[in-house]
Amino acid sequence: MGILNINDLKEGMTLAADVKNKHGIPDADVEGADRDQLHQEEMKTVSPEVIAVIEKELNEIFPPVDGNELMSEIYRIVKKLKIRQVVES
């Protein structure tokens, strides 16, 4: 079970509880899906070359994040947002 942004909801997912709104952000608790899995889903819709370009851009501004949980998570989220921007553009 994982807390997802409402934009990440896909057909076929089962809601474990009612969609709620916390701090103004719609959440939904989804069975059987976690964030990483969803991230993988999203990655599949973008070509590896584009992902490589995004990673290159991020590697230019990010310090090495290995071994730093927080910085790795920031990196993962920014990468996801960039991929989403590309998908939506």
Q: Count how many residues are written for the chain.
A: 89
Burial 32-52 (b: 16+ CB within 10 A, else e): ebeeeebeeebeeeeeeeeee
Q: Does 1 bind other proteins (CB under 8 A)?
A: no
Among 1, 19, 81, 87, binds other proteins (CB under 8 A): 81
Q: Does 66 bind other proteins (CB under 8 A)?
A: no
Q: Does 43 bind other proteins (CB under 8 A)?
A: no
Q: Stretches 11-19, 44-52, 58-66: which one binds other proteins (CB under 8 A)?
A: 58-66
Extended strands (E) in 1-89: 2-5, 20-22, 25-30
Residues at the site binding other proteins, with contacts judged by CB under 8 A: 3, 5, 22-25, 27, 35, 61-63, 68-71, 73-75, 77-78, 81
